[in-house]
Structure 1
Amino acid sequence: MPENGGEVVILGSGTSHGVPMVGCRCPICQSTDPKNNRTRSSILVRAPEGNIIVDTTPEMRLQLVREQVDLVHAAIFTHGHADHIFGLDDLRQFGFLLDRDIPLFCEPLVEEQLRLAFSYAFRPPADPKRRGAIPRFDMQPMTLEPFELLGVRVQPLRLFHGSLPIVGFRIGELAYCTDVSEIPDETWPLLDGVQVLVIDALRFRPHPTHFNIEQAIEASRRIGAKQTYLTHICHDIEHQTVERELPEGVNLAYDGLKFACELQ
C-alpha cells in the first residue's frame, strides 16, 4: 500500500433495481455467480482518521455487516435518489457507538430531500433518555469547493445525471463518478492525475441518464486512469463474459471488491 494509501471497498455495484431484479427470471438474475449479485451502488473509503461512506443505500446495513465494518465516521452524498439515500437511518447506530453526531455532507437539494424523507431524524428528541434510538446527524452543506474530512481532501466534482446536477468525488488518486451521463467541461481538469476511476457503466446500450460501457471507457481513456472499475451495472451484464471483453486496465466492479489507493 502506498505511504499515503488507504483502502476502498465497493459496497454495492448495482443499479437502482439491484441484481437480481424483483420479478425477473433472466439468466443473470438467476445466476449462481456471486459477482452477478449487485446491491445498490456505494463505496466505503478507509481514510487515515476513519471510515467515509459515499451514499447510504437501502442495503447499507447488509453491506456493512458483509464487510465487517464496525464504524462509519462520516457520510457524503452524490445525489438524493432513493437508491442513494434510503439507508440513512442505519447510520444512527454509529452516532450511538461514537457518542457524537455523524456529519452528513451534501448539496442543498439533497439536504432538503433527506430532511423530508427522514424528518424525525432532524427534530429534537421527544425522549432524550432513549439514546440508542435517536439519530445523531450533523448536516454539513456542501459546495463544489474541496474540504478536509478524516485526514483526506475531498474534491466534489460536478456531474450530470440526465438533466440533474449531481456530484462525484475525488480523493487523492481516486475518483468516484456514479450515475453520470455527462462530465461538464469544468470538471475534466479536476480529474487530471486520477489513477483509479470508479465510474457508472450501466449496460452496452445507450441510456439517457447513465454512461454505457463504451462511454465509460472513453471517459477513462481521456482521464488516463491506470485502473478503472465500472459500476452501477444492470442485469444485462454477465460478469465473467463481459470481463473478458474489456480492455486492459478496465474491469467490472463487484460487491465486496477491495483495492488500495493513494488518498492524500
Structure 2
Amino acid sequence: MKVTLLGTGTSQGVPVIGCSCNICKSLDFRDKRFRSSIHIEVNGVSLVIDTGPDFRMQMLRADIQKVDAVLLTHEHKDHTAGLDDIRPFNFKQKKDMPVFGRYQVLEQIKREFAYIFSGNRYPGVPQVEAVEIDTNPFVVSKIQIIPIPVMHYKLPVLGFRIKDFTYITDANFISDESLKLIEGTDILVLNALQKDSHISHFTLDEAISMAQKIGARQTYFTHISHRMGLHAEVDQELPAGISLGYDGLEISLP
C-alpha cells in the first residue's frame, strides 16, 4: 500500500500576489502547498480523497495514470472544486467515475456541477456515478474503507481508514466513538492549520495532543496554513513520531 500526499495546504491564509513574507520567499519546496488531497494505491486499486482546485496539477505532478474512485470528505470548495478534471480519466478508462460522499456532499456537488448531472448532458462533460455513503464501512473494488466521523466546527466531515492508515482533514473535534475506529492505526495524517486558535480546525498544539492520544507510530500533519511558519523550523519543534507533511511525500505500508 502506498499513500502520496498530493496536497498539504489550505485556502486559509493563502498569500496574496506580491506577498514578500518568509513563507512566500522560501526556496524550500515543502513550503509550497497545493490544497489538501491524497492518493492511495492498494492491491492495484487507485483512490483519490478530495478533488480541490489544484486537482489537475496534482494528478500531473504525481503522474497518476488511473483513478478507480474518488472519496469526498466534505462539501467545501477547497475539497471539491476540481471535480470537472476527472474527465481525462473518463476518456482513458472509458467508464464513469464513482464518487463517494455523504448525502449532503453529493447534493452540493450536484448543484455546483449541475451540467455533469443534467438529464440532457452536453457531450464531453465528466461522467460521474454519485455513490451515497454514511458512517458505515463500505467497499471499493474489494478494498474495505471505514469512515471516521469528525466535526469541522458544526459541519460533519468524514475521515477515512484503510487497513492501518487513517486520513483526517478539516476537523477540530473527534469523538470517543470515532477514536475507537482509529485505534491501532500505524500511520495517521491529521489536519493542523496554524499555531493560533481557530474556530473549526485543530491548531498545532491541539493536533499534537490529538496525535499523541491516538498513538500512531507516525503522524503527519496536513491542511497547513500559510500562517504556520517555515516547514524546516516548525518540523524541528515537533515531538518524536510527529512531522509536518509536504506535497509529494510518499508513505509505504504493508
Using structure 1 for the length normalisation, give the TM-score.
0.92
Q: Any conservation in 2 of the 1:157–1:187 contact (CA below 8 Å)? A: yes
Cα drift, residue 205 of structure 1: 1.3
Residue ranges of structure 1 left out of the alignment (5+ in a row): 1-5
Residue of structure 2 equivalent to 1:28: 23
Q: Any conservation in 2 of the 1:17–1:40 contact (CA below 8 Å)? A: no
Residue of structure 1 equivalent to 2:220: 229
In the superposition, relative to structure 1, how do residues 46 and 203 fare at CA in structure 2: closer, same or farther (>3 Å)?
Answer: same
In the superposition, relative to structure 1, how do residues 68 and 252 fare at CA in structure 2: closer, same or farther (>3 Å)?
Answer: same
Mapped partners of 2:94, 2:135: distance in 1? 30
Matched, 1:42 2:2: no
Deviations 1:210-237 (A, max 9, x none): 0011111111111110000000001122
Letter in 2 for 1:39: F
Cα drift, residue 30 of structure 1: 2.0
Residue of structure 2 equivalent to 1:170: 161
Residue of structure 2 equivalent to 1:108: 103
Residue of structure 1 equivalent to 2:189: 198
Matched, 1:257 2:252: no
Cα drift, residue 19 of structure 1: 5.0
Mapped partners of 2:207, 2:160: distance in 1? 16
Residue of structure 2 equivalent to 1:3: none
In the superposition, relative to structure 1, how do residues 32 and 182 fare at CA in structure 2: closer, same or farther (>3 Å)?
Answer: same
Residue of structure 2 equivalent to 1:186: 177
Residue ranges of structure 2 left out of the alignment (5+ in a row): none
Report matched runs for 1:70-109 at 5 Å.
70-109=65-104
Aligned residues: 253
Cα drift, residue 134 of structure 1: 2.7
Q: Any conservation in 2 of the 1:47–1:150 contact (CA below 8 Å)? A: no
Structure 1 stretches of 4+ with a deviation exceeding 6 A read none
Cα drift, residue 124 of structure 1: 3.5
Residue of structure 2 equivalent to 1:62: 57
Residue of structure 1 equivalent to 2:130: 139
Q: Any conservation in 1 of the 2:12–2:226 contact (CA below 8 Å)? A: no
Q: Any conservation in 2 of the 1:19–1:36 contact (CA below 8 Å)? A: no
Root-mean-square deviation (CA, aligned residues, Å) is: 1.4
Mapped partners of 2:133, 2:71: distance in 1? 9
Secondary structure of the 2:147 match is strand
Cα drift, residue 50 of structure 1: 2.1
Using structure 2 for the length normalisation, give the TM-score.
0.95
Select 1:151's aligned residue among 142, 152, 175: 142
Identity value in percent: 39
Cα drift, residue 258 of structure 1: 0.4
Letter in 1 for 2:74: H
Select 1:238's aligned residue among 209, 214, 230: 230
Secondary structure of the 1:44 match is strand
Letter in 2 for 1:48: N
Secondary structure of the 1:29 match is helix
Secondary structure of the 2:33 match is coil
Q: Any conservation in 2 of the 1:49–1:150 contact (CA below 8 Å)? A: no
Cα drift, residue 191 of structure 1: 0.8
Deviations 1:137-177 (A, max 9, x none): 11100110001113321001110001111111111111101
Cα drift, residue 93 of structure 1: 1.2
